Amino acid sequence: MQDNDYEILNKQRLYWDGVYEDNKEMFGNAPSVSAVRAAELFKQSGVKTVLELGAGQGRDTLFFAQCGFTVYALEYSDNAIKAIKDEAKSLGLSERIITLKYDVRETLPFDNETFDACYSHMLFCMAITTKELEKICSEIGRVLKQGGVSIYTTRGTHDSHYTKGIHRGEDMYEMNGFIVHFLSKEKIEYLAKDFSKLEIDEFEEGELPRKLYYVVMRKIQKT
């Protein structure tokens, strides 16, 4: 990957901040299909605390809080964080939602084994390199409690937009200003190398529709 590619990837923060400012409800208010599915598994697993990475404008954050979970929502857009706080206050959910402006490519600001679960919808297919995704997975494993569950979704290399647009290194392509990292099943399996259980399902979302993977990883439980 060229240096100018890294510079372009790092500018995505400003791009997304502008998008969230111009469109207050870009993805709507309803929770994603993946969040509804994740909530069921969280309930079955006795989850109390959820770390959400790349929370966006908070549609899944708010849903998790309404389900009774305490959610720590990390997002690097100022406008997105404000949207979450405002909506949480209006819905009386402020006590269940802790927001933090943070770049998830950095070491997570939490102690080891802090959370019961981790969740992220479409974060793994943002402008993040494979090396950075490895670090994110390692950090997720560190902050999860023993036997904790991590769920994420990502666009896959079976998506119709894969290889379309401007190539930005690895399996990343830019279309209409958005950079998407398309993950293969092999890469997903590689990223889960430090977890004890891996489940990968395919699903579709949106009008295109986008082709996504729904990924469930369990932290290795010490004996």
Closest Cα to residue 9, out of 177, 186, 221, 204?
177
pLDDT at 5: 52
Q: CA 56 to CA 58: how far, in whole Å?
A: 5
Q: Mean pLDDT for each 10-residue chunk of the chain (223 residues)?
A: 53 54 60 97 97 95 98 92 94 97 94 98 94 97 97 97 94 91 97 94 90 95 67
Structure tokens at 98: 């802790």
Q: How far from each other are the two terminal CA atoms of the chain, in whole angstroms? A: 41
165: left (phi over 0), alpha (psi -120 to 50) or beta: left
Q: Given this model, what pLDDT does residue 207 score?
A: 80
pLDDT of residue 17: 54
Report the pLDDT value the prediction gives residue 221, as an integer from 0 to 100: 73
* Structural domains for the chain: 3-219 (3.40.50.150)
Distance CA 112, CA 145 (A): 8
Does the reported pTM lie above 0.85?
Answer: yes
Residue 205, both tokens: 């979302």
